[in-house]
Amino acid sequence: MPKIIIIFFGPPGSGKGTQAELLAKFTGWKKISTGDLFRAEIAAKTKLGVLADKYIKRGQLAPDKATISLVEKSLKQKASGFIFDGFPRTRWQLKELLVIFSKAFKKNDRVYALEVVVSDKEVKQRLGQRRVCACGKVYHLAYNPPIDDGVCDICGGKLFIRNDDKPQVIAHRLKVYHHDGEPLLDYFKKQSKLIKINGEQAIKKIHEEIVEKLKELRLI
């Protein structure tokens, strides 16, 4: 059976993490979120976490080599498919990813980019009201609220505001995405491996559209 690899693209706050999680639950594929992996390293105060934190809190990209080491470790898991959230983000990362794929995957494995299209204006609105839990669960005060205020539905942990969800840091993250991340979509577009989704719809509706598109392509 060929493996399926879906790579989520989209600006900060577009809903990549939310949709990647729903898709992982639906398919059983493993989700690899470099942002989540970095945040776990930061919480554990590892050497890598201390280094990455300096970049992340300013809205800058963490060093490429640190990112690749996290991805390589995650790809050792056994799975029929992988969902990338937040990787690759630079030309260098895309090239490295293709090298990793050529070693880890077979020729008939299928790799698609999935772009969640959301305007900068919507991003700013969403991130201002995002709350997260250390377990990785993400909420929005209006669109996706927890059952009890300030408490995670899944683990009971205390919800908090992400360090990089400050207005000036959000503005910088958007700039970085438009400059470094978005141009990578050309590579997938040229190979007809780009799926575009309107990210300004209800969370459930977006998930259903993603599933429908993947079914059309016979990926699920």
Q: Which residues bind Mg ion (CB under 5 A)?
A: 17
126 belongs to the catalytic site: no
Q: Pick from 209, 208, 189, 187: which is nearest to 197 by CA?
A: 209
- Name the 3-class secondary structure at 178: helix
| Candidate residues 4, 23, 24, 56; the one interacting with ligand AP5 per rule CB under 6 A | 56
Closest distance between Mg ion and the C-beta of residue 194, in Å?
20
The two three-digit tokens of residue 136, written as one number: 């990785």
Question: Around 26, how many Cα atoms within 13 Å sit in the side-chain half-sphere?
Answer: 18
Is residue 137 near ligand AP5 by the rule CB under 6 A? Answer: no
Rounded CA-CA distance 32/156 in Å is: 24
CB 90 within 8 A of CB 13: no
| Candidate residues 31, 126, 137, 207; the one interacting with ligand AP5 per rule CB under 6 A | 126
* CA angle, 68 then 168 then 130, to 5°: 75
Q: Pick from 209, 13, 8: which is nearest to 118 by CA?
A: 13
Q: Which does 83 bind (CB under 5 to 8 A by kind): Mg ion, ligand AP5, none?
A: none
Is residue 130 near ligand AP5 by the rule CB under 6 A? Answer: yes
131 belongs to the catalytic site: no
CB 164 within 8 A of CB 86: no
Q: Which does 15 bind (CB under 5 to 8 A by kind): Mg ion, ligand AP5, none?
A: ligand AP5
Longest dimension (CA), the chain: 48
Is residue 34 near ligand AP5 by the rule CB under 6 A? Answer: yes
Q: Exactly one of 31, 39, 130, 131 is catalytic; which is it?
A: 130
Is residue 10 near ligand AP5 by the rule CB under 6 A? Answer: yes
User: Any idea which residues carry the catalytic annotation?
Assistant: 16, 89, 130, 162, 173
Site residues, ligand AP5 (CB under 6 A): 10, 12-18, 34-35, 38, 55-56, 59-62, 67, 86-87, 89, 93, 126, 130, 138-140, 143-144, 164, 173, 199, 201, 203, 206
